[in-house]
Structure 1
Amino acid sequence: MRRAISITVLSALAGLAQAQDTNNFNCSNFLQFGISADQTRTAFNKHPETMAWNWFVCLNQPDAQGYNRVWESFKPSDQVYLANGVNPGSYDSRMKPPDEVLKQAKALGLDANRLLHNLNATQQVDGMSLEMGGTVVPEAQRGQVVRFQLLMSQDTYNYIVKNNVYNVDGQEALTSNLNFPATAWELKAAWLWIGADMDYKKKLENDGYYTAQAYYQQGTDYRVGYAALSGLHVVNKLDSSWVWTTFENVNNRKYTVTKGHPPRPMTNSTGPTSDAIPVNTQFQANNPTLSKYELIGVEYQPKTQVLANSQLESAFQDTSSCLACHGTAAYSKTDGYFNFAIPTQGGLTYPTTPLPDKDFNGYKKLDFVWSLKRAQWKR
């Protein structure tokens, strides 16, 4: 007698097949997609979640000097879109942190060989912020906002500089749409602020968080210490609509809370997807230092879909689509940046389906790169 196999079982079997090979990926030159972008694209289309995890593993390897992880060497956006709109120079040139930051870092005994991340951003796309909270968070840290950082690879940076779109003047002068190379990458990181509380740092590390050295400005003063990575968007242009992957720590619900009264643990309502779950299990088992991070999902097809990171799109997860929102990146001489917020009764929502080309009449498209909105006028 023949028995029907449920769709759930078939989905699980497909996911396990996708996750089988988790140790044979070569990280050499992975930012250029190895020997061939076409070969990488074929492998990605076959198993998107496996490729997403391979990239995540490669990005989190130690860099050549062994002090930081590979992704930490990406260029931070505050060193691309300068306040005076001038050319930011070469990719390898890095701005030294303010003297006061270095003074505090030395007093705290921070490692001079490790980077100090500038975590000045706290506002999500909807203008809201996410706060730390919960019984395991020290009282002094409760209510502290989760901080953000945007970084880009060398090929992304070089394209921006070559096309003079690091300031608004250059974007206004565009005569055609932008078209970044296939090897362009962008990252967006979410961080839980630790400061100098070493007990809190140890607690987070025990829960699988990667911790780094960081600072931010508060008024005329600076706060210096440690921060824990709670979420990471990993994006590249392997596909013409870009590839959107997002990871977060499985313990975020213990450390971040909703805006409700009373606040509740922050969870992800969009994933991990059914395709991501078995792949997560395999990669977590094979990568102990990343075992508490999970892939939430992957977007690359221009269709109606929802995908969010609870740390980066916390309050609007049900209307969050990386591909659809970033597909609206565009600039007009008369109207400025395209407004992708959709007014609804009681507030705003965001597109989960790519908008038609006719909506962008009079605009030059920025090829999904909304970080360009951080550009300033040249002074």
Structure 2
Amino acid sequence: MKLKALLSPLVLAISGACLSANIAVANDAGQDIAQDTAQLDVADSLREQQVYRRDRPLWKEPQDTTMAMNDPDLYAWRLFIALNWPGNRDNCKADRNKEFGAEGYATWQLWREVEQTFLPKAEEPKSWRDACRTATDAELFDRPTDPRYTTLEDEDTRLNKAAYNHVRDNKLYSRDEQERLVKAGVKSLVFPLKAKEAKANWVRIEEADKPRYHWVETVQDGVTEIWGLAGLHIMTRDMPKWHWSTFEHVDNETRWPSVYPEAFRGWDEVPSVDRASCPEDNLACNKFPEGLGIEGTRWENYRLRGSQIDWVDNRGNPTVLPNSKIEGDFDQGSMSCMTCHALAVKGESNDGHFPIGLNPGVNEQGLPMGYIGAPDPELFLDENGEEVNYMELDFMWSLRHAQREE
């Protein structure tokens, strides 16, 4: 048992960020006072940073704590491009010989799906190499089964190599092993810095929609169906509370809410926030960043709805980050990826998926509400006010799929 790997502290590589800040201060000191920092064009500044970072291959799966902390929206787009780069089925990595936007499975689709990771009877999953080499088309596309596109039935969650190997090497695919760790006094699991997870949702589209969507075609009972990617969550453990970002297809704003109002909420309730693509006075411009090769590809039809790196903003307001498709049947204004996933815990013998209730109530429309801001400490106490012996799952709700040994 690799308890050392589970308990090792996370050391953030912040020296680069400090150096950048010092350089910026020195440069500002030499400028004319009329060029006050408050008047800098944020969009222009970000475009300059994009040019500076072009030496980093866009296809390469990024792990950059400095960018994640200081330019979370730009980092979100870099993740989006790398993870959606055409994948190589021989090694389950991005195919650097293909152009961004080429047809085929995206790199994240070659990662391991939760049903391929948490097997019945807590059977040890395949090695990453063997799983990659033997992956079938059925494994690479988790076909939705509910025509209403409800959140849980229409969800495709995948782990990258670092996250998958951590689960496999430490036997976290076993619910019994998780409970053994709880009883042994382990308070929190710690995934490696390179760990990532992608969660996607799909919608049926027509042949004419193909050029505007990342799509997968399936045949079910002799009937051909075309599925278009509607929403994509990306989480990466660059920091102790992870980096969170969520993307949606532009049709989610008005088209699909009129067709499937019970599953698509639209974008009016919570506007987008994207500092990598928009000016500071209009962060909900719903554009994509220039100069990163997105133009002219189907991916130009996707938008960053926002990213999240902390419970609150600089003024103490709780941060909110919903995906109007993935959380289409929830109250949008009370959705926070970080807060929700902070409640991912495991008790000594709890068989339920959610030991801590995720929904404190419903809104006026009857939609379930979530928690925002820093978690309430009382959520981790029993009815007598005593702390429950929970092990934090390091924000990884995927571990709720762990199976019983037999």
Counterpart-to-counterpart distance in 2, 1:15 and 1:183:
28
Q: Of the candidates 361, 380, 396, which is equivalent to residue 343 of structure 1?
A: 361
SS in 2 for 1:186: strand
Match of 2:44 in 1: 16
Match of 2:150 in 1: 129
Q: How does 1:174-189 map to 2 (within 5 A)?
A: 174=181, 175=184, 176=186, 177-189=188-200
RMSD: 3.6
Which structure is higher in strand share?
1
Give 1:267 deviation, angstroms.
3.1
Does residue 1:209 correspond to 2:229, yes or no? no
SS in 2 for 1:187: strand
Paired residues, number: 324
Distance 1:234 1:351, change over 3 A: same
Q: Of the candidates 313, 336, 361, which is equivalent to residue 321 of structure 1?
A: 336
Does residue 1:354 correspond to 2:374, yes or no? yes
Could you tell me whether the CA contact under 8 Å between 2:124 and 2:168 is conserved in 1?
yes
Give 1:168 deviation, angstroms.
1.4
Could you tell me whether the CA contact under 8 Å between 2:272 and 2:305 is conserved in 1?
yes
In the alignment, residue 308 of structure 2 is paired with which amino acid? E
Match of 1:173 in 2: 180
Uncovered stretches (5+) of structure 2, i.e. residues with no partner: 1-32, 90-94, 96-103, 280-286, 313-317, 381-386
Q: How does 1:255-266 map to 2 (within 5 A)?
A: 255-257=256-258, 266=266
Match of 1:272 in 2: 272
Normalising by the residue count of structure 2, what TM-score does the alignment of the two structures yield?
0.69
In the alignment, residue 183 of structure 1 is paired with which amino acid? K
Distance 1:173 1:44, change over 3 A: same
Counterpart-to-counterpart distance in 2, 1:264 and 1:245:
18
Counterpart-to-counterpart distance in 1, 2:76 and 2:289:
13
Could you tell me whether the CA contact under 8 Å between 1:332 and 1:363 is conserved in 2?
yes
Give 1:212 deviation, angstroms.
1.9
Counterpart-to-counterpart distance in 2, 1:190 and 1:25:
32
Counterpart-to-counterpart distance in 2, 1:88 and 1:255:
37
Give 1:150 deviation, angstroms.
0.4
Distance 1:86 1:150, change over 3 A: same
SS in 1 for 2:46: helix
Counterpart-to-counterpart distance in 1, 2:257 and 2:291:
22
Counterpart-to-counterpart distance in 1, 2:343 and 2:223:
35
Give 1:286 deviation, angstroms.
3.7
Give 1:29 deviation, angstroms.
8.2
Match of 1:36 in 2: none
Q: Which range moved further: 263-272 or 297-306? A: 263-272
Q: Give CA deviations for 1:296-334 in whole Å, capped at 9, x if unaligned.
A: 111011322111111101132111000000011101124
Match of 1:363 in 2: 390
Could you tell me whether the CA contact under 8 Å between 1:121 and 1:148 is conserved in 2?
no
Match of 1:236 in 2: 236
Normalising by the residue count of structure 1, what TM-score does the alignment of the two structures yield?
0.74
Give 1:272 deviation, angstroms.
1.5
Give 1:32 deviation, angstroms.
5.9
Q: Which range moved further: 181-190 or 69-78? A: 69-78
Distance 1:16 1:295, change over 3 A: farther
Give 1:49 deviation, angstroms.
1.0
Counterpart-to-counterpart distance in 2, 1:215 and 1:153:
27
Give 1:22 deviation, angstroms.
3.5
Match of 1:372 in 2: 399
Q: Of the candidates 51, 54, 57, which is equivalent to residue 27 of structure 1?
A: 57
Counterpart-to-counterpart distance in 2, 1:233 and 1:340:
19
Q: Of the candidates 311, 316, 326, which is equivalent to residue 312 of structure 1?
A: 326
In the alignment, residue 54 of structure 1 is paired with which amino acid? R
SS in 2 for 1:118: coil
